[in-house]
Amino acid sequence: GDSVTQMEGPVTLSEEACLTINCTYTATGYPSLFWYVQYPGEGLQLLLKATKADDKGSNKGFEATYRKETTSFHLEKGSVQVSDSAVYFCALSDRGGNTPLVFGKGTRLSVIA
């Protein structure tokens, strides 16, 4: 079945450092790819998405590019802030729109001032 593998945390960075969280996937067909973020004590929020090869999703300074050749969707940010401290989940789903998301195990990011 489909699966998502993302780097295990926790990741601790100083403010203004660069962030990369690796994510690779295995899927039949051509899934949509997502990054969701969960701030402490809160629910899941969609951070960004990409729905076909070479698409780049971006939001709040975060970016990820859908790489079909390497089956990857790495999350990047050039300069992190304390407010970015959260758990980040990579996920995929069928583009048809009514199949469950398959999540990676999540990566906890802590940004220190």
Partner 1 sequence: DTAVSQTPKYLVTQMGNDKSIKCEQNLGHDTMYWYKQDSKKFLKIMFSYNNKELIINETVPNRFSPKSPDKAHLNLHINSLELGDSAVYFCASSQRGGSHGTQYFGPGTRLLVL
Q: Which residues bind partner 1 (CB under 8 A)?
A: 31-32, 34, 36, 38, 42-46, 49, 51, 87, 89, 93-101, 103, 105-106, 108
Within 13 A of 58's CA, how many CA atoms are on the CB side? 7
Give the C-alpha separation, 52 to 1, whole Å. 20
99: tokens are 């199949």
Task: Quote the least distance from Cβ 4 to partner 1, whole Å.
Answer: 10
Task: Quote the least distance from Cβ 44 to partner 1, whole Å.
Answer: 4
CA distances from 9 to 6, 28, 86, 102 (A): 9, 27, 11, 19
By C-alpha distance, which of 91, 93, 84 is closest to 106?
Answer: 91
Task: Quote the least distance from Cβ 65 to partner 1, whole Å.
Answer: 16
Task: Quote the least distance from Cβ 54 to partner 1, whole Å.
Answer: 15
Q: Which is nearer to partner 1, 49 or 74 (CB)?
A: 49
Q: Which is nearer to partner 1, 67 or 108 (CB)?
A: 108
Identify the DSSP state of 75.
Answer: E
Give the C-alpha separation, 65 to 107, whole Å. 18
Q: Which is nearer to partner 1, 8 or 15 (CB)?
A: 8
Q: Which is nearer to partner 1, 4 or 80 (CB)?
A: 4
